[in-house]
Structure 1
């Protein structure tokens, strides 16, 4: 039986969950960003979601190089929702009071875990923050640098007025919470039912989790210092119009859902 880590600063026993599918080529950069956190008082679980490319071995190699402790958990049921749920429940079963989730192609800012801890210590049940575009994967076009922040802002505004996000049984405020930048308390996760165990093309598991938590808590918060830099691979693969249609209830139906290494 694993002994839970002692409570950290603010009475928060923090875990970070990273679902990963065929991310051997790039996951080391995400792990390097986690190793560079100002607050290293967290445990890390990477959920290998039926990868075929040696993602688990690369994870363990990179974490050893960075001096970052990691537990690799296998989830054979492919899907971001299923993998995320497995990771969060593993963390809670091993003593986590709070969990932050990011993706295996995302670079959290150095103050990300510290910001999450502060928010949780102050009583938040679900947290999110800014999502900015990565610039180290591919060169952003000039118009993308201008347009993307506005598009994200428009999506956030649309989400607040979307009828399905305004049902009377939802207590807390709606916050657009991308899966690459979301955190939840163990109490709210278990009370709400957590992430749906779905595939990425079936349901946006991040939005579903937000609304599930809103049914049991009013403490759903956006924190500007909880920031990540997310991959633009999907934008490159789909184009701006179809990327927006994809995130709007999968209005775009691509032949390839799991985009990788798009130049």
Structure 2
């Protein structure tokens, strides 16, 4: 199993993510950090971590800016190096200690795509902000299920599930079969999920795969702007993704 972390200008947050990965109970994986056109010290932080990490670490560069490009390059690199299971989180997220073990168990039990559970980081907002984040995630999940173009009658083989790219695991075979992650800026999660849904019904949700998600978009966009984003309406006047 390989864990892929795309990172663009994440020098301020990447170290926390790497420490969270080092604290995993299941550390039988290779970590791949994809430095996505960073202009800060992101790549240097990852390489320094590699010198003392409790698992193999590789750092590669993807000059084409966009989370889709970084993830696709990373996943294909890992597959080329022999990966059969792939897991992804982002460089501003904190996987809880059982994350990699839960991902491995879920893919072993049901090979395909596994979607984990996201919650708000506890170091970025107070209780009210974290509650608001949770409400927005649930609304986005409901919107996805009710959206007419996501209906099974449109040719999908599986019902719609909330899929957060920062908390997912997939077999290498399925990743290649659906053509990989769209090589574009965020958001890419819905496009990728629907590509998988057109191909297979092997999509599961694993509540034991928990990642604490950054809430900085909530601070940057406000409640209404963040709701617009999670309801797949883009960033509006707020410009590019703050990640």
Q: Secondary structure at the match of 1:225?
A: strand
Give the aligned partner of residue 4 of structure 1.
none
> Which consecutive residues of structure 1, in runs of 5 or more, have no partner in the other structure?
1-13
Give the aligned partner of residue 191 of structure 1.
177
C-alpha spacing 1:80/1:191, structure 2 compared with 1 (3 Å): same
TM-score by length of 2: 0.94
Give the aligned partner of residue 16 of structure 2.
29
Q: Secondary structure at the match of 1:130?
A: strand
Following TM superposition, by how much is the alpha carbon of 1:153 offset from its aligned partner in structure 2, in angstroms? 1.6
Q: Is the 8 A contact 2:32 2:60 kept in 1?
A: yes
1:147-200 Cα shifts (integer Å, max 9, x gaps): 332322222122112122225321022111111111111111111111000012
Following TM superposition, by how much is the alpha carbon of 1:256 offset from its aligned partner in structure 2, in angstroms? 4.6
1:33-90 Cα shifts (integer Å, max 9, x gaps): 1111111011111111010102111111123244342111111110011101001111
Q: How do 1:62-141 and structure 2 match up within 5 A?
A: 62-136=49-123, 138-140=124-126
C-alpha spacing 1:153/1:139, structure 2 compared with 1 (3 Å): closer
Aligned mate of 1:246, from 222, 229, 242: 229
Q: Is the 8 A contact 1:196 1:209 kept in 2?
A: yes
Moved more, 170-179 or 236-245: 170-179
Give the aligned partner of residue 140 of structure 2.
155
Q: Is the 8 A contact 1:24 1:59 kept in 2?
A: no
Tell me the C-alpha RMSD between the 2 structures: 1.6
**Larger fraction in helix:** 2
**What is the alpha-carbon distance in structure 2 between the residues aligned to residue 129 and residue 113 of structure 1?**
11
| Alignment length (residue pairs) | 242
Aligned mate of 1:218, from 201, 222, 229: 201
TM-score by length of 1: 0.87
> Which consecutive residues of structure 2, in runs of 5 or more, have no partner in the other structure?
none
Q: How do 1:222-241 and structure 2 match up within 5 A?
A: 222-241=205-224
1:130-162 Cα shifts (integer Å, max 9, x gaps): 1100012x232x432433323222221221121
Deviating above 3 A after TM superposition, structure 1's stretches of 4 or more consecutive aligned residues are 65-68
**What is the alpha-carbon distance in structure 2 between the residues aligned to residue 147 and residue 22 of structure 1?**
26
**What is the alpha-carbon distance in structure 2 between the residues aligned to residue 81 and residue 256 of structure 1?**
18
Q: Secondary structure at the match of 1:77?
A: coil
